[in-house]
Amino acid sequence: MPNQLPAFFFSNSSSLPMPQRVLNENFAPSSPAYQPLTYSLATQEQSNWCWAAVTCAINDFYPSKNHFTQCDLVSRVLQRACCNAPNQCDEPWYLDRALYMTAHYSGMYSGRVSKEYLHDMINIQRRPVCMQIEWNGGDIGHVVTIIGISPSGVLYIADPHFQYVNCLYDTFPDDYQGTGGRWLYSFETV
């Protein structure tokens, strides 16, 4: 339903500038004083829609009058109707541009960010950090949201494909999901 999208989705410009659900018991933090962000995970509806799922979940995390589905977002981004035949729109896209279009983009960094940065953004400012993985072997990649980091360096990840996952900061994403990869970009959200 395109009428549910924010008004700026309907601008005449064809170019874009570059730029709460409870966790299960197996996802509990290691310290009673530590708490990951309350974040409603969106499962990607198509194999290449991790960017759309993450963008919709980020939009739902922040107070917003606008709610939209993954197919609403993909339809606007690809500028064609995708909700009736979503498999025909199963394409990768840029997370930074999708976050920008929904007014949740705050910045982008190349590569891995520090534990201190994640602690500040997530534990102090209470803002999730998204990141892009470049899979080993040349696959296109994947985006996830980091919703927590413990004092011992355990990352709490909301993954639109693999659900909620715990990983060590020092080895993520080198050994992630058996394939592993490289931490390509980090995205600040607002």
From residue 131, give the alpha-carbon distance in Å to each of 3, 118, 157.
29, 11, 10
The torsion defined by the Cα of 152, 124, 24 and 111, in degrees rounded to 10, comes to -70
Check: CB of residue 132 under 8 Å from CB of residue 51.
Answer: no
Domains of the chain from N-terminus onward: 41-189 (3.90.70.10)
pLDDT the model gives residue 33: 54
Tokens for 148, please give them.
């927590």
Tokens for 182, please give them.
């490289």
Tokens 């799922």 map to which residue? 53
Check: CB of residue 101 under 8 Å from CB of residue 13.
Answer: no
Mean pLDDT computed over every residue of the chain: 86
Residues of the chain with pLDDT under 70: 1-33
pLDDT the model gives residue 157: 98
pTM of the predicted model over 0.95: no
pLDDT the model gives residue 34: 72
Tokens for 6, please give them.
């924010």
